[in-house]
Amino acid sequence: MTSQRGLTDRDFLLYNRLKDKGYTDKQLLNLYRNLRYVDLTPLLVFDYQGDESGYISDCQANMSNNDETAFVLDGTYYTPYENARPVDDTASVSMLVNKTYFLDDTYTPKNLTALSNLYAAPDRELAGVAAEALAEWANAGRDNDVYFYATSAYRSYEDQQALYDSYVASLGQEQTDQVSARAGFSEHQTGFTVDLAATHEDAYSEFSQTRAYRWASAHCWEYGWLLRYPEDKDAITGYEFESWHFRYVGKDVSEAVHYSNLTFDEFYMLYLKPWDNENNKPSQEILDSTNYLKLIPAAAAEPEETSAPEGESTSEPAETAEADSSASPEATEKAN
């Protein structure tokens, strides 16, 4: 039981967000009496639970395993695509696209920019701001003798539909929905998403075993990027761990997400989502005190020069950088 824990402004913000989702004061009192903050934030992403008792029991049964780094449940509390709604703000780099929030077939990123073969396979594009951020991030990696490449980037609604249909033809729809986003629900359509590989010859499933992954995932937030589907958070994100899938959200948001220890889905729903009912908003004092920028330590404003992971070789040949310019688009597309 957690009924004696002290409540902070952060708890009150979460309380009001859950109330905005439909939870009653009676339900919220029961939830707060029995669960921790890390157990409550996923409810912002999950379907509304008319009877919260089952969720409470499940969280309590897994409490010894769950913390800010992992969240596993025995039951399922989210039905993908069932309560779909349009993306809140398609002009925002921090828009949320997942198995609930979708882009329609007319959406195309502004200022689509071709990516340099130094950082990407041929004929890859991103929205301009993300293309610049990818170059900054990749160059920082190279300064530390780390090389990685975008094997997949912007993907149109039509391209995602074709990819999804090809999976359905071979796997069936149920299994396809486990590995591929439906058209409109893929982050690649935003123009702010890349799939990475260490070289054009590497399988995406092997990226997590590379030095490139270890550096890129450790430092992505410094350049405005997030590892979108982290390990042991698939109950919340709806996707199993994808070491290769990174999303640009802007530096302020990426740093705040990093220090919050939340998934981007939770972070968006807590700090960025417009209120469904303005009457549910907490006081301005609480909103001011929980501004997400306050999550970022002052020292984080100027990231220190980073070096290669300790104990690892830095002798990767420079010619590796050029080898990837011939990456095969057909061989490297990922499903999401």
Continuous segment of H or E residues that includes residue 125: strand 125-127
- The answer to whether the beta carbons of residues 105 and 316 sit under 8 Å apart is no
Residue 54 lies in a domain: no
Residue 299 lies in a domain: yes
Domain count, the chain: 1
Round to whole Å and give the CA distance between 207 and 147: 12
Residue 117 lies in a domain: yes
Residue 198 lies in a domain: yes
Helices in the chain by DSSP H: which ranges?
9-21, 25-34, 37-40, 53-61, 128-143, 157-171, 173-179, 211-219, 234-237, 251-260, 264-267, 284-289, 320-323, 329-332
Give the domain range for residue 153.
82-263+295-332
pLDDT of 201 = 58
Residue 279 lies in a domain: no
- The answer to whether the beta carbons of residues 267 and 260 sit under 8 Å apart is yes
- The answer to whether the beta carbons of residues 232 and 72 sit under 8 Å apart is yes
Residue 77 lies in a domain: no
User: pTM here?
Assistant: 0.88
pLDDT of 319 = 35
Residue 48 lies in a domain: no
CATH number of 162's domain: 3.30.1380.10
Residue 2 lies in a domain: no
pLDDT of 327 = 37
Segment-wise mean pLDDT, segments of 10 residues, the chain, 336 residues: 70 98 98 97 98 98 96 96 96 98 97 95 96 98 96 97 96 89 97 91 75 97 98 95 97 98 98 97 97 89 47 37 36 59
